[in-house]
């Protein structure tokens, strides 16, 4: 008999309308006994399934992460059983035996032998915060699409405003758009609506505002601007709700212990950690990283949480987020290093932050990007920068320390001897003889 890790467990094959459950237990005669039954997915039938599992004193329940269908089941079983959501790739069944009943039995069997690893499912407050931040991000992306539609309408009307104005939704551009909708067509009148530094471009504005605006274009612009105003209001409402939730989660009773410290355990005496890290403190820490503002910090924390002890190392966190290089080696040859699928939200927002970070001069992240972009390309270099940012986040939350920039010369200083030899060879190829003397700083 294979080694038994859990004496009483269950496996669930989850679908939209049905759940096939298989419960297994080890009898007094050291024999494995199991039963399989199909339930519906309504709340009443899920409660019946919970009672059915409790009849055998099931301690652990495993189910695959199938879309959104696992959530109603998890809501019912949470608190009554140790419920594991497992990756479907880790539970591949034996070929030629594919049925719902066989899937549930196989899931229960591999669960009982301890071959599964649970996926990370945060506590309910964090799950609700995650829903809010994801919804806000969706609205932000929708707003960007509507702004692009505004530019498309202007191009169709021969208005080249976007060639002169950086932000089409800025104060000056918005005044011009509203004047166009009201029927104003004189380029000089429209250009004089500019404010601030844009008034230095009045001549260019007059030329760009000469077009063929029709009532059809005005109608489309009015609808698009109204949609943008609605989205701005919704984004602001969500931001306020997110801020309120974070304040509630930052209360002392809800504070998360430092990584590696269990609730009720005495705090370490090394003086490095002053106490439990709160959500507001974590947001302030993450905001010290170049390219990360409060909105991105809120999204990252809503996905990964504050307690980094759930990830064995920074590499595990990067792999979970889909920002770690792939590991595919066979026959002594390393094949594709393509990144694997992970948390798409974390990967997306950190990639967005990486594009902003690489534009900050005299920073380590910008130096890392420049070091890789020439030989690896822009996309791979950005993923590497995002990976570095996530590793920094792991240690910042673990040690409760702000971001410490290594500086733009980090790579040169790390390979100082090799760098000097390389430059000497370059000068020698050009016909120069060089004698090195240490300067005051080098000494």
The reply to whether 406 falls in a domain is no
The reply to whether 286 and 394 lie within a common domain is yes
Which pLDDT value is given to residue 267? 47
* Three-state secondary-structure class, residue 370: helix
CB 323 within 8 A of CB 380: no
The reply to whether 286 and 240 lie within a common domain is no
Cα–chain-centroid distance for residue 75?
24
The reply to whether 2 falls in a domain is no
The reply to whether 106 falls in a domain is yes
Indicate which CATH number applies to the domain containing 165: 1.10.287
Q: What is the mean pLDDT of each run of 10 residues along the chain (443 residues)?
A: 82 92 88 92 95 94 86 91 84 64 87 86 92 96 96 95 91 94 92 92 93 94 97 97 94 56 48 73 95 95 93 92 74 66 90 94 92 90 94 95 90 80 88 80 51
Domain that holds residue 295: 256-264+274-326+340-399
The reply to whether 242 and 260 lie within a common domain is no
The reply to whether 90 and 19 lie within a common domain is yes
The reply to whether 322 falls in a domain is yes
Give the Cα separation of 412 and 409 in Å (integer): 5
The tally of CA atoms less than 13 A away on the side-chain side of residue 109 is: 14
The reply to whether 333 falls in a domain is no
Give the Cα separation of 125 and 438 in Å (integer): 59
The reply to whether 18 and 54 lie within a common domain is yes
The reply to whether 215 and 260 lie within a common domain is no
The count of domains in the chain is 4
- Nearest residue to 257 (alpha-carbon basis) of 274, 240, 242: 274
Give the Cα separation of 225 and 208 in Å (integer): 20
Which pLDDT value is given to residue 410? 86
- Residue whose tokens read 């679908």: 15
The reply to whether 366 falls in a domain is yes
The reply to whether 407 falls in a domain is no
- What token pair was written down for 352? 């967005």
Q: Domain end: 82, 112, 142, which one?
A: 112
The reply to whether 191 and 171 lie within a common domain is yes
- What token pair was written down for 174? 């918005």
290: left (phi over 0), alpha (psi -120 to 50) or beta: beta
The reply to whether 392 falls in a domain is yes
Give the Cα separation of 158 and 330 in Å (integer): 58
Give the Cα separation of 67 and 90 in Å (integer): 16
Which pLDDT value is given to residue 268? 46
Give the Cα separation of 285 and 277 in Å (integer): 10
The reply to whether 95 and 161 lie within a common domain is no
The reply to whether 314 and 367 lie within a common domain is yes
The reply to whether 92 and 146 lie within a common domain is no
Indicate which CATH number applies to the domain containing 103: 3.30.420.10
The reply to whether 395 and 304 lie within a common domain is yes
The reply to whether 301 and 385 lie within a common domain is yes
Which pLDDT value is given to residue 337? 61
């Amino acid at each position: 008999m294979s080694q038994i890790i859990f004496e009483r467990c269950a496996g669930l094959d989850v679908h939209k309308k049905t759940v096939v459950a298989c419960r297994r237990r080890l009898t007094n005669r050291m024999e494995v006994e199991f039963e399989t039954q199909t339930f519906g997915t309504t709340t009443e039938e899920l409660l019946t399934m919970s009672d059915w599992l409790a009849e055998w004193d099931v301690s652990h329940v495993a189910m695959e992460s199938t879309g959104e269908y696992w959530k109603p089941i998890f809501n019912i079983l949470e608190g009554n059983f140790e419920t594991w959501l497992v990756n479907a790739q880790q539970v591949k069944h034996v070929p030629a035996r594919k049925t719902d009943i066989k899937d549930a039995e196989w899931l229960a069997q591999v669960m009982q032998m301890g071959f599964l690893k649970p996926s990370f499912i945060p506590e309910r407050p964090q799950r609700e915060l995650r829903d809010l931040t994801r919804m806000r991000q969706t609205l932000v992306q929708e707003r960007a699409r509507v702004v692009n539609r505004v530019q498309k309408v202007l191009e169709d009307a021969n208005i080249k405003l976007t060639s002169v104005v950086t932000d089409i939704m800025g104060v000056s551009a918005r005044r011009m758009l509203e004047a166009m909708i009201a029927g104003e067509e004189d380029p000089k009148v429209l250009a004089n609506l500019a404010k601030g530094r844009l008034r230095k471009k009045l001549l260019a504005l007059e030329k760009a505002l000469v077009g063929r605006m029709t009532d059809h274009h005005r109608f489309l612009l009015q609808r698009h601007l109204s949609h943008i105003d609605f989205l701005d209001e919704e984004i602001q409402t969500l931001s306020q709700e997110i801020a309120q939730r974070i304040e509630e989660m930052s209360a002392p009773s809800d504070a998360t212990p430092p990584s590696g410290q269990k609730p009720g355990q005495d705090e370490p005496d090394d003086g490095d950690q002053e106490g439990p890290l709160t959500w507001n403190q974590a947001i302030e820490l993450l905001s010290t990283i170049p390219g990360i503002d409060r909105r991105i910090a809120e999204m990252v924390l809503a996905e990964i949480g504050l307690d980094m002890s759930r990830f064995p190392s920074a590499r595990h966190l990067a792999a979970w987020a889909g920002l770690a290089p792939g590991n595919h080696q066979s026959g002594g040859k390393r094949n594709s290093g393509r990144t694997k699928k992970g948390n798409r939200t974390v990967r997306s927002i950190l990639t967005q932050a990486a594009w902003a970070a690489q534009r900050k001069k005299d920073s380590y992240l910008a130096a890392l990007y420049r070091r890789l972009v020439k030989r690896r390309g822009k996309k791979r270099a950005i993923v590497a920068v995002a990976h570095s940012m996530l590793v920094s986040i792991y240690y910042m939350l673990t040690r409760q320390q702000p971001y410490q920039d290594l500086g733009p010369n980090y790579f040169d200083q790390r390979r100082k001897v090799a760098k000097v030899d390389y430059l000497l060879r370059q000068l020698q190829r050009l016909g120069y003889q060089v004698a090195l003397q240490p300067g005051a700083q080098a000494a």
